[in-house]
Chains A and B, each alone.
Chain A
């Protein structure tokens, strides 16, 4: 193995491990500010460092510091301290590891060697995700049970029942999808979606299997314990459910785990139904072939986009009451300068691409970076959908939840399998 191989392994693993963690900050920020804006209030925007609020991102930092320095207590009534402590670890670990099989760029070919751009290069793909997503509920059940608390155990039981009734429609929705793709390997699935249907529609899972997509997304919401399926938490009826006895960093690990799980399931939804890392209408081959025109196009559009973005920052980042020498205007100026600096850096990188030989490793790396950006953009949009749904739909009642799972989603998923199989058999 050459030095490059080791470097690529380190790069891939660290990407898979740290990107979900970094996205937690973005998710929490999007959740809180987004919730504010959905409800016509402003969300947390007062925390600042030397007057710099960074649109409320500083609040995350202060929350993190608060949670890290809080007293970490375990109540005396808790008998099974080992299970009590291991429960949040299970939730967090399974969430992080389930992202490891998601490819975030097409296979990178540098010279003679090729690199699978995913954390753990295994062929298990979607099976790995299903296994670990199912396992994460053990953490919640263990937390509820070991809390020795009625609310806790109710939350854990609800979560267990919910997972049983939603794993099945999820698995069945996947069956019809896998019949279409003919593989469980997520990288091959993403490559399949790079093709075009009738020559002009991207062959995404969402277009080939819309019913399967709806069922899978609903089941994924239930799997992540997000509203409208957050019965395990149910703060209005069972206080906080499974994490009612948890405080400080143990609670924070649950919290992180929830958001990482949201990121991982968004990534899976993207990979299965929305083309994964594929740029719409441009497959990896054509991206490498047209690397220079694309780089040139990006060089033109980036400053244009930044111009409007700067205008928006300038308009939004002001005090909404009369104030002499508004410090927020100065703040906005600094932000705009930082963003322009970033744009200049990107322009320089794109310029290097323009002067490199076409079709070489530089173009391959450029395409890989482009696909990583596309992937992250799509995942961010999916996370936004999660947040959007959370602040729109109220929580399901428990019997409604079971009814939806068993009487609606399960028959629909079965019907979808029959129709898909019939069509696939008829076409082949």
Chain B
């Protein structure tokens, strides 16, 4: 077995520890970014739905301002966004390179996307149910937490798994600011040094990660559907 691997994946066998480290870095970035994005993204999505015309806290100004911000950040290509938000990154993490620094642009890049997905998921909650709960005397906070987030759960889970998969893609670009991770491994070690087997293994690991996320997402989607 080892002979086989040594013959066909020589560079992989030589850089094993680095590959594990890159995998860890990718997982770390995905996890931390997901955590922050979940909080901001869901909050933003909820605010968008609530302040939208006909929403439970309809407010034209808040809605149109937030919507423009979301659209703006969604339109900027991620690789440019990384450079664009450097001052913010430095303000928050004290540095502009490395794994932790990458989390800032990743969050800024993924939150608008996620918020939109959440917004769409929540819009699928039957407006009749919202009306019924209003008729029962529920206030906005109660409606958000006990109706929107609960009735929209299936949609939220689906949006989350799509977003995490998207995020895994973005983390590979964060290599541009020295974040490490499987993306920079594939480029720096695999591509630049002509070690194709490393690129190959990095791809396999990324795909594996995507499949796992997809699987978990599908599992919970199914579980939350009645």
Whether both chains belong to one complex is answered with: no
A residues at B contact (CB < 8 Å): none
